[in-house]
Amino acid sequence: MRVWITLKLKLFCLGQKSYLGREFYQYSTAAAFEEPIKPPVNVEYNQLLINGQFVDAASGKTFPTLDPRTGEIITHVAEGDVEDINRAVAAARKAFDEGPWPKMTAYERTKIILRFADLVEKHNDEIAALETWDNGKLYEQSAEIEVPMFVRLFRYYAGWADKIHGLTIPADGAYHVQTLHEPIGVAGQIIPWNFPLLMLAWKVGPALASGNTVVLKTAEQTPLSALIVAKLFHEAGLPPGVLNIVSGFGPTAGAALCSHMDVDKLAFTGSTETGKVVLELSAKSNLKPVTLELGGKSPFIVCEDADVDQAVELAHFALFFNQGQCCCAGSRTFVHEKVYDEFLEKAKARALKRSVGDPFKPGMEQGPQIDAEQFEKILKYIRSGTEGGATLETGGDRLGMKGYYIQPTVFSDVKDDMLIAKDEIFGPVQTVLKFKDLDEVIRRANASRFGLAAGVFTHNLDTANTLMRALKVGTVWINCFDTFDATIPFGGYKMSGQGREKGEYSLKNYLQVKAVVAPVKNPAWL
Amino acid sequence: MTVLSNGNAESYVKTPKIKFTKLFINGEFVDSVSGKTFETIDPRTEEVIARIAEGDKEDVDLAVKAAREAFDHGPWPRLPGCERRRIMLKFADLIDENIEELAALDTIDGGKLYNLGKIIDIPSAAETIRYYAGAADKIHGATLKMSRDLQAYTLHEPVGVVGHIIPWNFPSQMFVMKVGPALAAGCTMLVKPAEQTPLSALYYAYLAKLAGIPDGVLNVITGYGSTAGAAISSHMDIDKVSFTGSTEVGRLVMQAAAASNLKPVSLELGGKSPFIIFDDVDVDKVADLALQGSFYNKGEICVAGSRVFVQEGIYDKFLNKLEEKVKRWVVGDPFNPKVHQGPQVNKQQYDKILSYIEHGKKGGATLLSGGNPGGEKGYYIEPTIFTDVTDDMTIAKEEIFGPVMSVLKFKTVEEVIKRANATKYGLAAGIMTNDLNTANTVSRSIRAGVIWINCYFAFDKDLPYGGYKMSGFERDMGLEALNKYLQVKSVATPIHNSPWL
């Protein structure tokens, strides 16, 4: 409530003055210009975590991790490379081959994971502050949504550990057949910077619950939160070598993990381009199976029966949440022509109201983008939108002179063939497209190389049912968006990836299926 | 055997003060409507431990009303599964924090071994609650493959108000085995513990409340089967009854359900389980297992391996081993850590077992060991082994529910399958062999709900458990048990222009 009251007051102050978006931002987002708030946390861990020990990189090298609010250095972190990946894989291999992790009872694993979840819960605010400092996401979002969700994910998979069932199977003939679901071995996992903790939970939760060991490479932009939670995991009783964390860069540490001959499984979340490289490296090395969760250009479809105010709010959230840095962002807002004008006007007003500033400041809606590279890339896409003939309704530029803040940007009159309608921008840029009928929007929504998610906004049951089946995407949110839960599988069609994470489905990524067949003599039945 | 107790031995553990003696309804401990109470007796001494509120029909009505309200309007079935999990995990932690007191309650009330209570019964009760806590957010329906333009799916919904009626032989494990999956499924419930062992159930109710289980979700009515139990079975507003106990009472429960509102019933009843030993085994090891199979928990266990079939090649050698080993089987005060066997639960059971022993003696079986009461005071009975038992003897046909083993001789696989199946029961079986073909053939041929190969009593949270034939139907434990507490609702609606079907 407080947030809204503040915003209304600000609007009131502007009075009847006819304003340009730019001026409004300069007023409403003072936070971006103030001195950054000092994060209420210290960085305690900045080394690699291998075999239960914090160690320096073999090379002794480090790299800086930056505060996206200012571009300044938070701390230097050990830079893992081939040799460090080798050490981590060797530790994970030993922990898998010799135990105790895969050899202990599932219930023991459950208890350790539950203890870990309790510990993270206890350190909620500290971990959240670290996440925000490193990533630039809102502290309220880290502390009230993401860390609690991290805890729930681990509790969920703790509950799976002792319920991993194979089948007994009725074969043709007098055979006793059963399947054993066995841990696959050493899992190499590479996670992105947009949700560092949650991405870790999606991957590590099912891998460890099913008895695997893990080498996880964090994104070089956000190495910090993984180190503190992995430390807590060991405090909870995780044996050494079961979870190894290597900070470092993709072309060095990441590539070494992907091409390692002793890694049994890869799971990668990141860009489609890098996903291709990951799959190639697996194919060139030991053919390890790969789970990929890649980019998207997800449609958010506002149908003619929509309550426009609600649709605007949800479409706004679907795109701008987390600074637009979501692989499933609803970045193609398709609006039915009957409600298009009203929608556009309100979507623009909503974007103008969005409060952008220091993510540690309560009540903000948007923090800075992750780094200079993304920042420049987004601004380039914005320029391409303007140059390509789309109408810039609001925003379109950086915000402030320091850090990586970008104005919430809305384009209208967007055509399917424009770059901003085809590429993943991964920033606060909403593109609004007009459509006439259902068949048309289905065709256009599916005309993408991506297929991660879609939003459908309608109260018409038939429309909802038609769209949910027709859209070639891994998740359809009907009258909601970004509804994530430990139980709901997530992943992509087409070039948005392969495999599914979360839910029961994710266990499959980390289990081998062994069929065991033996003849039965004189069976009573078959 | 050694008898350490005549019922007046010094107790090895300070018995706990009894904190809870009243009915637990809608989150409060209350007296029964009638104001009546009954005695719960220490089977070691035959003395009164405490007077417990005696629930009857009126009390069951009150509990059902509370459970109905909690189900129809309360938060429990409306919480997301992960919230029910959170509260149940807290419940499990509280059980872990009170292991010694809970174990002591089951020992003074049921004559059960205190040490085993501490390391098995109570920790496994916490484990079971934790297991089902983890299941609360994993209750999946299915989306269906329809043969026309239809979108269809199933919703697995909590069945509603559940009545659980549980026996006295494993008061703690029976309690959580019923309550765990029902809570996870989102049901509300009342539990009637056995009148012989009401104490720990009331304690669990208290812990559940501390953990945050909302009032009315879990009610405990202490009392007798013919009054409170019958009121549950015939109640028009209970949606499901889950009963564990004797086959005779199981029949009454089902009749009452049929005569009232046709509520679905699940029954886990008696057994006369075969424990089959083939010639190829290590006789020494198997003799130990067979003793456990018959005498564990004083033989008061529905899956007791009470018909020990021994192949003729090792029959004599096996008997020698048994005779030697049973001498080291210690009967006495269940608080004494050296003791293997405490007293039977009450006078009625004690007398019944002794009369079966008389049957055995008169019916022509050979008494290898035991056969007498195990002291002057308390309900102790010597571990008793009959050999040369034939299939038609009463002791080979009926469930004795005491420390009485019947040993039978057999020749071939086919013969033992036939004889093992020649019973009205079908709860469990043990198969002792290292021959893969024998193990596979016999395990498929025996008509019983649980088969243990080269082990016995290998229970687990994840292992479904229940009977064929007159041993009951439906399963406790494992994810299988959730189904007892779930309704399946199929939902279908037409779809138009679907790109695939």
pLDDT at position A296 is 97
Query: Contact, B199 vs B220, CB < 8 A?
Result: no
Which residues lie below 8 Å from residue B258, measured CB to CB, with a gap of 6+? none
pLDDT at position B501 is 84
pLDDT at position B16 is 84
Helices (H), B363-497: 394-397, 413-421, 436-445
- In this prediction the pTM is 0.91
Is the pLDDT confidence value at B161 over 70? yes
Is the pLDDT confidence value at A526 over 90? no
Which residues lie below 8 Å from residue B319, measured CB to CB, with a gap of 6+? B310, B368, B387, B407
Confidence of residue A34 (pLDDT cuts 50, 70, 90): confident
Instruction: Classify residue B117 by its DSSP letter.
Output: I
Helices (H), A224-355: 224-235, 255-258, 272-284, 308-320, 337-353
pLDDT at position B4 is 57
Instruction: Classify residue B405 by its DSSP letter.
Output: E
Average of per-residue pLDDT across B444-454? 96
Which residues lie below 8 Å from residue A320, measured CB to CB, with a gap of 6+? A351, A354, A365, A366, A408, A428, A430
Residues of B in contact with A157 (CB under 8 A): none
Is the pLDDT confidence value at A32 over 60? no
Contact B500 A165 (CB under 8 A): no
Is the pLDDT confidence value at B10 over 60? no
Query: Contact, B226 vs B162, CB < 8 A?
Result: no
At B294, the amino acid letter reads S
Which residue of A155, A158, A465 is in closest CB contact with B495? Answer: A465
CA B412 to chain centre: 33
Is the pLDDT confidence value at A43 over 80? yes
Contact A462 B495 (CB under 8 A): yes
Question: What is the Cα–Cα distance from B356 to B381, expressed in whole angstroms?
Answer: 12
Which residues lie below 8 Å from residue A211, measured CB to CB, with a gap of 6+? A101, A102, A106, A109, A161, A182, A183
Question: What is the Cα–Cα distance from A288 to A99, expressed in whole angstroms?
Answer: 22
Question: What is the Cα–Cα distance from B384 to B358, expressed in whole angstroms?
Answer: 11
Phi, psi dihedral angles at B342 (to 5 degrees): -95, -165
Q: Which residue of B has its CA nearest to A165?
A: B462
Average of per-residue pLDDT across A265-271? 98
Query: Contact, A290 vs A316, CB < 8 A?
Result: no
Task: Give the orientation angle of helix B122-135 with respect to helix B171-185, to 10 degrees.
Answer: 10
Query: Contact, A248 vs A76, CB < 8 A?
Result: no
Is the pLDDT confidence value at A190 over 70? yes
Question: What is the Cα–Cα distance from B200 to B101, expressed in whole angstroms?
Answer: 9
pLDDT at position B401 is 97
Query: Contact, A48 vs A78, CB < 8 A?
Result: yes
pLDDT at position A521 is 86
Which residues lie below 8 Å from residue B323, measured CB to CB, with a gap of 6+? B368, B369, B385
Confidence of residue B371 (pLDDT cuts 50, 70, 90): very high
Higher pLDDT, B393 or A23: B393
CB atoms within 10 A of CB B146: 14
pLDDT at position B15 is 76
How close A275 gets to chain B, by Cα (Å)? 29
Query: Does any CB of chain B come closer than 8 Å to the CB of residue A493?
Result: no
Query: Contact, A293 vs A497, CB < 8 A?
Result: yes
Query: Does any CB of chain A come closer than 8 Å to the CB of residue B140?
Result: yes
Q: Which two tokens stand for residue B336?
A: 């004494």
Q: What is chain B's mean pLDDT, rounded? A: 95
Query: Contact, A351 vs A409, CB < 8 A?
Result: yes
Let me know if B100 is a catalytic residue: no
Query: Contact, B23 vs B59, CB < 8 A?
Result: yes
Element (H, E) at A265: strand A265-269
pLDDT tens digit sequence for B38-79: 999 999 999 999 999 999 999 999 999 999 999 999 999 999
Q: Which of B479, B36, B470 is nearest to B223 (CA)?
A: B36
If you count residue pairs, one on A and one on B, with CB atoms under 8 Å apart, how many are there?
Answer: 93
Which residue is listed with tokens 């996670």? A191
Average of per-residue pLDDT across A182-204? 98
Question: What is the Cα–Cα distance from B249 to B267, expressed in whole angstroms?
Answer: 10
Query: Contact, A31 vs A364, CB < 8 A?
Result: yes
Element (H, E) at B277: strand B274-277
pLDDT tens digit sequence for B88-129: 999 999 999 999 999 999 999 999 999 999 999 999 999 999
Residues of A in contact with B453 (CB under 8 A): none
Which residue is listed with tokens 């987002």? A29
pLDDT tens digit sequence for A394-405: 999 999 989 999
Question: What is the Cα–Cα distance from B396 to B379, expressed in whole angstroms?
Answer: 23
Question: What is the Cα–Cα distance from A48 to A223, expressed in whole angstroms?
Answer: 10
Question: What is the Cα–Cα distance from A66 to B161, expressed in whole angstroms?
Answer: 57
Query: Contact, A162 vs A107, CB < 8 A?
Result: yes
Is the pLDDT confidence value at A14 over 60? no
3-state SS record for A212-258: CEEEEECCCCCCHHHHHHHHHHHHCCCCCCCEEEECECHHHHHHHHH
Question: What is the Cα–Cα distance from A434 to A390, expressed in whole angstroms?
Answer: 12
Contact B137 A461 (CB under 8 A): no
pLDDT tens digit sequence for B373-396: 988 889 999 999 999 999 999 999
Is the pLDDT confidence value at A10 over 70? no
Question: What is the Cα–Cα distance from B286 to B407, expressed in whole angstroms?
Answer: 13
pLDDT at position A33 is 61
Question: What is the Cα–Cα distance from A477 to A314, expressed in whole angstroms?
Answer: 11
Query: Contact, A278 vs A289, CB < 8 A?
Result: no
Is the pLDDT confidence value at A418 over 50? yes
Which residues lie below 8 Å from residue A334, measured CB to CB, with a gap of 6+? A299, A300, A301, A302, A433, A434, A435, A441, A444, A445
Contact A159 B441 (CB under 8 A): no
Contact B497 A461 (CB under 8 A): no
Contact A520 B461 (CB under 8 A): no
Residues of B in contact with A523 (CB under 8 A): 440-441, 444-445
Q: Residue A164, CB half-sphere, CA atoms under 13 Å: how many?
A: 31
CB atoms within 10 A of CB B351: 12
Is the pLDDT confidence value at B292 over 60? yes
Question: What is the Cα–Cα distance from A266 to A291, expressed in whole angstroms?
Answer: 6
Query: Does any CB of chain A come closer than 8 Å to the CB of residue B493?
Result: yes
Task: Give the orientation angle of helix A337-353 with respect to helix A308-320, to 10 degrees.
Answer: 60
Element (H, E) at A10: helix A2-14
Is the pLDDT confidence value at B275 over 50? yes
Backbone conformation region of residue B387, classed left if phi is above 0, alpha if psi is from -120 to 50, else beta: beta
Which residues of A are the active-site residues?
293
Residues of B in contact with A160 (CB under 8 A): 134, 138
Which residue of A159, A162, A469 is in closest CB contact with B500? Answer: A469
Query: Does any CB of chain A come closer than 8 Å to the CB of residue B445?
Result: yes
Which residue is listed with tokens 């812990």? B207
* Strand-pair partners of B405: B385
pLDDT tens digit sequence for A73-126: 999 999 999 999 999 999 999 999 999 999 999 999 999 999 999 999 999 999
Contact A521 B440 (CB under 8 A): yes
Question: What is the Cα–Cα distance from B266 to B485, expressed in whole angstroms?
Answer: 10
Q: Give the 3-state secondary structure of residue A186.
A: strand
How close B377 gets to chain A, by Cα (Å)? 42
Confidence of residue A523 (pLDDT cuts 50, 70, 90): confident
Average of per-residue pLDDT across B202-209? 98
pLDDT at position B432 is 98
* Strand-pair partners of A50: A53
Cis peptide before A523 (omega within 30 of 0): no
Is the pLDDT confidence value at B299 over 90? yes
Is the pLDDT confidence value at B212 over 90? yes
In percent, the amount of chain A with pLDDT more than 70 equals 94
Which residue of B85, B86, B479 is in closest CB contact with A163? Answer: B479
Which residue is listed with tokens 């494992």? B478
